[in-house]
Chains A and B, each alone.
Chain A
C-alpha cells in the first residue's frame, strides 16, 4: 500500500510541473495586456511602464516562469495584480467556500442519485425505471445557470423562502449558511446525481446478474438483503472511485453556479481573474486545484484498493 502511494506521489510531481507550464503559457497566449486591463480608464504611460517592469512582463517568458517557480517553492504564490491581496490568502478564503459547496452538492447527489440508480436497476423494464431515466436525462441536460436563475426568481423573489445569493460561513451562522447554500448545492447536484444514477444503475445491473446473487437467492435470502447487502456492496466499488473523482472536479469550482448565486468560491475567483488578466491569481489557483485533483485521484485509488480486497496485494 505504502509503495503504491509513494509511486503515485512521485508521478504527481512531473504532472504538477506540466500543469504549471501549460497554465503559464495559456495565459501569455491570451490576447490582452494585463497592465492595460489593470489600468482601466487611467492610462498614464509612465505608470504603465513602471507596472510592466514591476511585474516583469517585459522579461522573456522562461525567465518569468523561472521567477514564478522559485517564488512558489518558497511558499509564496504572489499577490493579486488587482487588489494586492496575497494569493495564499485568497485561496484560504475561497477554498472552504468551494469545499462546502462541493460537499453539499455531493451529498445531495448521493442521496438522490444512488437510491434512484438502485431502484432503476431493480425495477428494470418498468415505468419507474423510465421515469428515473427521464429524470437523469433532464438533470444532465438542463443548464445549471438557467435552473439557478429560475430557482432564484421563484424561491427567493416570489416565495421569499431563501436568500437569493451570497455566502455566510457555517461557523458564523450555521442555519443561514445552509439557507444560502441550499439552492446552489441542489442546482450543482442535478447533473452529478444524474451521472451517479446512471452509473449506479449499470453497476447494480451487473452485480444483480452475477453468480453470487443467484446463490444468495437460492439460499433464500430476502430480496431486500440480496439487493442491499450483496449486490450493492459490489456495485459500490466503481461508484466510490467515481465520487472521489467528481469531488475533485467540483473543487475546481462550479463556475456558472457560483456566478449565478454570487458565491465567492474558486470558480468565481478564476473567472474574474482571467477576465482581468490577473496572472498571479490564475496561476496560483490552478496550481492549487491541480494539487487537489491529484490528491483526490490518489484517494480514489486507495479507496478502491481498500474496498476491493482482491487488489490489496497486487
Chain B
C-alpha cells in the first residue's frame, strides 16, 4: 500500500474519531416552535417547558407515574389540616453563577412569581399566604386554605429556581440571559434559530448527564424536521406528524418513542356566549349527545392518527390516577343519534365547526363532517388561523369548536378553567353551580382517593350534560436517532436527559 494511501486512511480515521467524539458530546433536539421568553415566571408555551427541563431545576419533579419526586427539595411534609407545607431543601445545589441555592433564594423566586405584574404563575400560587425561611435548608409555605394543586404547580414553572442575583427592574433581563439551577446552563439564544445550553459541571448529579452541549432547533415544518433527523442533523425530535408514523416505524435507523400524554383534543359548544349561542342548535343536550354518537374515534385514530390517537371521552387520561373507568367510550350509533335528534325536534342540524388550521385538524374536521352527516348534521367547516381563533372563541363567535389542550399534571389543570362558570378558558360559558362546587372542593382535598371520588361526581354531571365531546388524548410522539439510548418518554411530554447517552 502506498504511503500516501496509508496517511490518507489515517487522516480519515482520525477525523472520523474526532467528529465521532464531537458528536458524542452534543445533543440536538428538534422543536415544533420557537419557545417564548426564557423566564419561567412569564413563560407560556409547551416547548419553553422542554427547554426549562434541562435549564432549570424545580422544587419537585414528577416520575413516569406522575408521582412527585425530590429535586431541589429533598423531602416535604404537610401539617395535619393540610395548610402548611414544609420543604427540606438540598444543601449541595448551586445556581449557574456559583451562588448557593437556599431557602432565601427559594423565597425570592416564589415571591417574584407571585408579585411580578407580568407573572403568569400567580393563579398557580394564589393559595400561598406566607413564606417562611427558619433556616437555609427549610422552606415553610402557609396556605390560606388546603390546596391539592400546589405540589403540581411547584413541579413545573412556578417551582423553578432562578438565581436571585438576576432579579432587577429590567424584567426582560432574566429572559434574555436566564441564570438557573438545572443540569445545563444557558449559553446563547438566536430567536427562531437555536437555543444552546452547556453542561453545568457543578450540578449535584452532573455524572448522570452525558452530553456536554444541548442545542434546541425550532423547525416548524414536520416533514423538514423528520428529514433533518433522518439526515443526521438532529438526535431527537418532538411531535412527529401522525401521518409519518408508518414510515418511522418501518425505518430501522430511527426509534419511535410515543407516549400518551396528559392533554386532549375536544369539541365544545357555545351554549351561552353572546348572540350566536341563542341560535345554536347545540344548546340542546340531546343534539350534543347525538353528535357524540356519530363519531367513530377508532377510525379517526387509524386514518388520521397513525394509531397514536388514543380515544378519549373524559378530561383525565389513563396516565392520570384520576381517570375514571365509570365512563366507557360510546361506540358509534347512527340509529340512536337520529332518534335523539328526532326527539329534540331537529332532524337536520345546520352548524359551523371552527378549528385552528393545520393538516391534522383539517383531516379530523373533514372526517367528522362526513361521519356526522349520516345522522343529519350539516356541518360547515371554518378553518381559522390560530390567533384569530382565540379571539373568536373568547367573543363567542362560534357554534362548535375543536381545540386541543396540552394537559397538566394536576387534574384540576385539565378541568377547572374549562367548565366552571367563570373559568378563564370556558369560552362556551357552560355553567352548572353543582359542578363549580364540586371542583372547588376537589382543589382542597389532598387525599387522592377522596379527591377522585369528588371528580367522579363532577364527571357524572358533566357526562349527563354532554358538556364537551372529547376525541383523543394528545400523544407525545418522539422520534430518536438510532444511537440515542436510555431515553424514556414521560406523559407530561418533557425531555429528561438524565441517563440518556449515545451508543458507541
Contact = CB atoms under 8 A, between A and B. Distances in A.
Interface string A229-253: 0000000000000000000000000
A43 B193 CA distance: 28
A82 B391 contact: no
B231 A156 contact: yes
A36 B37 CA distance: 16
Contacts of A58: none
A80 B191 contact: yes
B123 interface: yes
B19 interface: no
Contacts of A262: 217-221, 224
A50 B118 contact: yes
B175 interface: yes
Contacts of A41: 44, 405-406, 425
A272 B417 contact: no
Interface centre among B36, B191, B391 (most CB of A within 10 A): B191
Given A47-B120, A93-B190, A259 B221 contact: yes
A38 B391 CA distance: 12
Contact of A50 (B45, B117, B424): B117
A269 B193 CA distance: 10
Contacts of B176: 83-85
B387 interface: yes
A299 B122 CA distance: 54
Given A33-B390, A84-B175, A268-B192, A149 B233 contact: no
Contacts of B223: 149
Interface stretch (A11-19, A65-73, A102-110, A160-168): A160-168
Given A82-B37, A85-B176, A268-B192, A164 B224 contact: yes
Contacts of B233: 156, 163-166
B231 A163 contact: yes
Interface string A78-91: 01101111000010
Interface string B213-235: 00001111101100110111100
B34 interface: yes
Contacts of A275: 385-387
Interface string A45-69: 1110011001000000000000000
Nearest to A263: B193
Contact of A259 (B122, B220, B406): B220
A79 B391 CA distance: 23
B219 A152 contact: no
Interface centre among A54, A79, A156, A269 (most CB of B within 10 A): A156
Counting contact residues on chain B (CB < 8 A from A), the size range is: 35 or more
B274 interface: no
Interface in A164-194: 164-167
Interface string A34-45: 101111111111
Contacts of A43: 417, 424-425
Given A32-B388, A262-B224, A157 B191 contact: no
A84 B172 contact: yes
A36 B394 contact: yes
B77 to A, nearest CB: 30
A276 interface: yes
Interface residues of A, number: 50
Contacts of A157: 227, 230-231
A153 interface: yes
B119 interface: yes
A259 B231 CA distance: 18
A198 interface: no
Contact of A264 (B119, B191, B387): B191
A16 to B, nearest CB: 25
A277 interface: yes
A31 interface: yes
A85 to B, nearest CB: 6
A160 B424 CA distance: 49
Given A85-B176, A260-B221, A260-B224, A31 B391 contact: yes
A261 interface: yes
A244 B406 CA distance: 48
B424 A36 contact: no
A42 B120 contact: yes
Given A41-B44, A164-B224, A32 B390 contact: yes
B192 A46 contact: no
A41 B385 CA distance: 16
A253 B391 CA distance: 29
A45 B191 contact: no
Contacts of A163: 231, 233
Contacts of A259: 220-221
Contacts of B172: 79, 84
Interface in B412-426: 417, 424-425
A276 B387 contact: yes
Nearest to A268: B192
Nearest to B35: A83
Interface in B372-431: 385-388, 390-392, 394, 405-406, 417, 424-425
A109 B74 CA distance: 63
Nearest to A31: B388
Contacts of B385: 32, 275
A183 to B, nearest CB: 12
B122 A82 contact: no
A84 B37 contact: yes
Contacts of B392: 31
Contacts of A38: 36, 44
Nearest to B28: A166
B7 to A, nearest CB: 22
Interface in B297-348: none
Nearest to B123: A44
A284 to B, nearest CB: 13
A82 B227 CA distance: 28
Contacts of B406: 41
A43 B122 CA distance: 11
Given A85-B176, A152-B227, A39 B44 contact: yes
B37 A152 contact: no
A38 B390 CA distance: 11
B116 to A, nearest CB: 9
Given A44-B120, A152-B224, A37 B387 contact: yes
**Nearest 9 pairs of A and B residues by beta carbon:** A84-B172, A264-B193, A32-B387, A40-B44, A156-B231, A43-B424, A42-B120, A37-B387, A31-B388
Interface of B: 34, 36-38, 44-45, 117-120, 122-123, 171-172, 175-176, 190-194, 217-221, 223-224, 227-228, 230-233, 385-388, 390-392, 394, 405-406, 417, 424-425
17 contacts: A32-B390, A33-B391, A41-B44, A42-B120, A46-B122, A149-B224, A156-B228, A156-B233, A160-B231, A160-B232, A164-B231, A262-B219, A262-B224, A264-B191, A264-B192, A272-B192, A275-B386
